[in-house]
A and B are shown apart, each in its own frame.
Chain A
Amino acid sequence: MSKTILIVEDEKAFQDLYTVMFEETDYNIIRAYDADQAMTKLEEQKPDLIILDILLDLVTGDTFFLHLKRTSEYARIPVIIASSFSSKTYKHLQEIDPTLVFLEKPFTKGKLLESVRAKLDEEMSREKKWG
């Protein structure tokens, strides 16, 4: 079964870039342009991974991330934060979730796909262990 990835990115142009990068994969990509939309999409179909931009609408990416981690239903969904901000700025988020991955813009297609695969594999092995 193909994995579902939720991409929360407010910028249309960048969403287009994601489309190009995921074009040759069999991931099921769903998009949200702000935190509101992201919540709706979360409820509709539970994604296996969330790629999150830090600069969002009123609710910024880090706030949204904290909300996810506090909500038991979503707390275990792995998150990749993709932002032009340095990962140092959001070090405190890693304290809450040590498995959090930062992708600092600009990143290559290879780097993105590798990070996504690693994250999903990690999650799969963990599920096996528990299951």
Chain B
Amino acid sequence: MRFLQTLRNILSSRLTGFDEIQNFLDATNDPIFVLHRGELIKNFNRQVTELFGYDKHDLVESSILKIIKLEYVPHVRKAIEEAWGCKPGCKCPTFDVSVITKDGRDLICELDLNRTEYGIQPHFRDATEHRKRDAERELISNINKIIASALDIRDVYKAIAVELGKRINFDRMSIALLQPGNNAITTYAAVTSYGFTELPEGGSYPLEGSILEKVIKSGSPFIVNDTSQQKLTTDRKLFKEGIMSRVAYPLIYKGQIIGTINLGSRRVNEFGNNQVNLLQQIAPQLTIAIENSKLFCKIKEWNTELERIVEERTRALNAANIEMAKKNMELERANEELRSLDKMKDNIIRDVSHELKTPVAHIEMAMALWAEEVKKDKNSREKEEKYRRIITSNIRKLQKDIKGILHLSILESGQFQYKKEPIHLEELVNQVVMELLLLAEHKGLILLTRIPDHLPTFKGDREEITKVIYNLLDNAIKYTEKGRITISAETKEKELEISIEDTGIGIGVPKDKFYKLFERFYQEKTRSDGIGIGLAICKTIVDAHGGRIWAESDGKGKGTAFRFALPYLNSAQNEQVG
């Protein structure tokens, strides 16, 4: 464009001498013609001669179409016709043409048809280099695309072979890579035009005698023009395949030759600078692809290793989890124990604060009244006896309650270890009866024991079972004003049933509420002079022995029967005690 501007300047400054135009034309780097009418050449600059080889004799007064390749002629003719129709100085479109040089070569050129006052000045620019660069750029771009998209390096090799095949002729392409240790080669014969190879893909060959060795030694591409001379070991093999000439181009990664890209042809002397230049263009990309592939393989290996490790760890973790779950369960158990201890503490506090408060209050009040009387000097033996009785009975109640609460708390804490010793019931009942006989006789009650001979023995905690019987018998005596109390035992299926029956005040509770008698601090006040803890203790002990306890009564004033049943020796439940 700058040229046109200069030309216009020259023209506008009325430099009309043709020599000056000739000088100007010669001063540019591109071939320029001057057409004075139609397609006829009037003149041209020396670059035409330099690039196309034609001199003045060949072209002056000839049609310019003479140097245009036939297929472009119609287009050029039309364009020239249109250019003549334009005003001088107008811009005509640029297009590509192929020029036939004097020595018969095709030369791709860009053509500008400039319309000037002097006619048409076709201006050629050599586009061969340009086109070549475009083609190379396209090739590299394609190869890059292939490299980016293919995960398998062999796909890359095959695609490169296809791309290269568009630009140059060859019959065989292979990639040779140096193995670790640098004395062997792995070959990847990507493509042959004849469908087989003496050096199959993935094969391992000695470095010695290979074309790669030559490339490593020289540090530059290596060409074998005629394999029939068999200078290299691989030449012999490939010669058998029909490969007559070869070229190897180094693949350089971080300054080290890691292998070569090799081309082979069935013709001798096939390879020269042209091919070497092309290989030079693609070698860096190919090298990167190969290194990427190696990395990819490594990553795949790592992945597999990682998966293996993860799997292993998962197994270990699972084992740890199971262990953890076990620990959790242990912890939960410990927690449960703590909770039960906590509950026990709570119960004791509750019992003490509510149940023990009353007798203490009674003692306190009796003492205060007594003190008042003493102060007023109004003391009488009779009243003194009354206060003493109130105080003593409440203190006894307190003692009993405290003992009971502590006993039950220990039993309920789960910390209590029941003994597991053989128990002969008769012996045990007799012992309790002996202890309470006086008390019963004092009230004028008849105490009967009906224990059959040869009762089965059972295992349990003698002391605790004794407490059950003592408690029940003591209660019976307490709540019976007249009549008799009977202790009996009976062998039932799998169970030994012990009954304490009285002719006392009975139970003034509906039958479906009888079970409540065995709950701690159940307020069946008519039955108890203290807190309802004795029966709760009995139930706890009997339960711990795998047995059951219950009450029977036909109502108030109709007597009561307390019964409990314990499983025999060897029964499964009995085994729990211990």
Kindly supply a per-residue 1/0 record for chain B positions 377-411, scoring 1 wherever the CB is within 8 Å of any chain A CB and 0 otherwise: 00000010011011001100000000000000000
Query: How many angstroms between the C-alpha atoms of A47 and B372 in the bound complex?
Result: 29
Say whether A13 contacts B390, CB under 8 Å: yes
Query: B372 — which chain A residues lie within 8 A by C-beta?
Result: 109
Query: How many angstroms between the C-alpha atoms of A16 and B387 in the bound complex?
Result: 9
Q: B331 near A: Cβ within 8 Å? A: no
Say whether A33 contacts B365, CB under 8 Å: no
Query: Closest chain B residue to A58 by CB distance?
Result: B509
Interface-side segment among A38-46, A69-77, A100-108, A117-125: A100-108
Query: How many angstroms between the C-alpha atoms of A62 and B454 in the bound complex?
Result: 53
Pairs across A and B, CB under 8 Å, 15 listed: A11-B525, A13-B390, A13-B393, A13-B394, A14-B362, A16-B386, A17-B365, A20-B386, A34-B526, A57-B523, A57-B524, A58-B508, A58-B513, A108-B368, A109-B372
Known: A107-B365, A109-B368. 18 other contacts (CB 8 A): A10-B525, A11-B358, A13-B389, A13-B393, A16-B390, A17-B390, A20-B387, A21-B369, A33-B526, A55-B358, A55-B525, A57-B508, A57-B526, A58-B523, A84-B354, A84-B361, A105-B357, A106-B364
Known: A105-B365, A107-B365, A108-B365. A57 touches B358 (CB 8 A): no
Q: State the Cβ distance, B372 to closest chain A Cβ, in Å.
A: 7
Taking Cβ atoms with an 8 Å cutoff, the residues of B that contact A are: 354, 357-358, 360-362, 364-366, 368-369, 372, 383, 386-387, 389-390, 393-394, 508-509, 513, 523-526
Query: How many angstroms between the C-alpha atoms of A55 and B523 in the bound complex?
Result: 7
Query: How many angstroms between the C-alpha atoms of A17 and B386 in the bound complex?
Result: 9
Which of A13, A57, A107 has the most chain B CB within a 10 Å cutoff?
A13
Interface residues of A in 89-131 (CB under 8 A from B): 105-109
Q: A60 near B: Cβ within 8 Å? A: yes
Query: How many angstroms between the C-alpha atoms of A103 and B372 in the bound complex?
Result: 20
Query: Closest chain A residue to B526 by CB distance?
Result: A57
Known: A17-B369, A21-B369. A105 touches B361 (CB 8 A): yes
Q: State the Cβ distance, B449 to closest chain A Cβ, in Å.
A: 31
Query: How many angstroms between the C-alpha atoms of A17 and B362 in the bound complex?
Result: 8
Which of B358, B387, B394, B509 has the most chain A CB within a 10 Å cutoff?
B358
Q: A30 near B: Cβ within 8 Å? A: no
Residue in contact with A109 in the complex, picked from B358, B369, B524, B526, CB distance below 8 Å: B369
Query: A106 — which chain B residues lie within 8 A by C-beta?
Result: 360-362, 364-365, 368
Size range of the interface on A? 20 to 34
Query: A13 — which chain B residues lie within 8 A by C-beta?
Result: 362, 389-390, 393-394
Query: Closest chain A residue to B363 by CB distance?
Result: A106
Query: How many angstroms between the C-alpha atoms of A17 and B369 in the bound complex?
Result: 9
Q: State the Cβ distance, B466 to closest chain A Cβ, in Å.
A: 30
Query: A56 — which chain B residues lie within 8 A by C-beta?
Result: 523, 525
Which of B360, B383, B525, B526 has the most chain A CB within a 10 Å cutoff?
B525
Query: How many angstroms between the C-alpha atoms of A105 and B366 in the bound complex?
Result: 12
Interface residues of A in 10-66 (CB under 8 A from B): 10-11, 13-14, 16-17, 20-21, 33-34, 55-58, 60
Interface majority SS on A: helix, strand, loop or mixed? Answer: loop
Which of B365, B383, B526 has the most chain A CB within a 10 Å cutoff?
B365
Query: How many angstroms between the C-alpha atoms of A57 and B364 in the bound complex?
Result: 24
Query: Closest chain B residue to A112 by CB distance?
Result: B365
Query: A34 — which chain B residues lie within 8 A by C-beta?
Result: 525-526
Query: How many angstroms between the C-alpha atoms of A81 and B358 in the bound complex?
Result: 14
Taking Cβ atoms with an 8 Å cutoff, the residues of A that contact B are: 10-11, 13-14, 16-17, 20-21, 33-34, 55-58, 60, 84-85, 105-109
Say whether B523 contacts A60, CB under 8 Å: yes
Query: Closest chain A residue to B509 by CB distance?
Result: A58
Query: A11 — which chain B residues lie within 8 A by C-beta?
Result: 358, 362, 525
Query: B526 — which chain A residues lie within 8 A by C-beta?
Result: 10, 33-34, 57
Say whether B369 contacts A105, CB under 8 Å: no
Query: Closest chain A residue to B527 by CB distance?
Result: A57
Q: State the Cβ distance, A94 to closest chain B Cβ, in Å.
A: 20
Closest 4 pairs between A and B when the two form their complex, measured CB to CB: A105-B361, A106-B361, A106-B364, A84-B357
Say whether B524 contacts A20, CB under 8 Å: no
Query: How many angstroms between the C-alpha atoms of A84 and B524 in the bound complex?
Result: 18
Query: B524 — which chain A residues lie within 8 A by C-beta?
Result: 57-58
Query: A14 — which chain B residues lie within 8 A by C-beta?
Result: 362
Query: How many angstroms between the C-alpha atoms of A33 and B525 in the bound complex?
Result: 9
Query: Closest chain A residue to B392 by CB distance?
Result: A13
Which of A14, A55, A105, A106 has the most chain B CB within a 10 Å cutoff?
A106
Query: A10 — which chain B residues lie within 8 A by C-beta?
Result: 525-526
Query: How many angstroms between the C-alpha atoms of A20 and B388 in the bound complex?
Result: 13
Query: B509 — which chain A residues lie within 8 A by C-beta?
Result: 58
Query: B508 — which chain A residues lie within 8 A by C-beta?
Result: 57-58
Query: Closest chain B residue to A55 by CB distance?
Result: B523
Q: State the Cβ distance, A55 to closest chain B Cβ, in Å.
A: 6
Query: Closest chain B residue to A83 by CB distance?
Result: B358
Q: State the Cβ distance, B513 to closest chain A Cβ, in Å.
A: 8
Query: A16 — which chain B residues lie within 8 A by C-beta?
Result: 386, 389-390
Query: B369 — which chain A residues lie within 8 A by C-beta?
Result: 17, 20-21, 109
Q: State the Cβ distance, A34 to closest chain B Cβ, in Å.
A: 6
Q: State the Cβ distance, B303 to closest chain A Cβ, in Å.
A: 71
Q: State the Cβ distance, B426 to closest chain A Cβ, in Å.
A: 37
Say whether A84 contacts B365, CB under 8 Å: no
Which of B389, B393, B523 has the most chain A CB within a 10 Å cutoff?
B523
Query: Closest chain A residue to B394 by CB distance?
Result: A13
Query: How many angstroms between the C-alpha atoms of A117 and B389 in the bound complex?
Result: 29
Q: State the Cβ distance, A90 to closest chain B Cβ, in Å.
A: 13
Say whether A105 contacts B393, CB under 8 Å: no
Query: How many angstroms between the C-alpha atoms of A84 and B365 in the bound complex?
Result: 12
Query: Closest chain A residue to B556 by CB distance?
Result: A36
Say whether A105 contacts B386, CB under 8 Å: no
Query: A17 — which chain B residues lie within 8 A by C-beta?
Result: 362, 365-366, 369, 390
Query: A84 — which chain B residues lie within 8 A by C-beta?
Result: 354, 357-358, 361
Q: State the Cβ distance, A57 to closest chain B Cβ, in Å.
A: 5
Which of A17, A33, A60 has the most chain B CB within a 10 Å cutoff?
A17
Query: A109 — which chain B residues lie within 8 A by C-beta?
Result: 368-369, 372
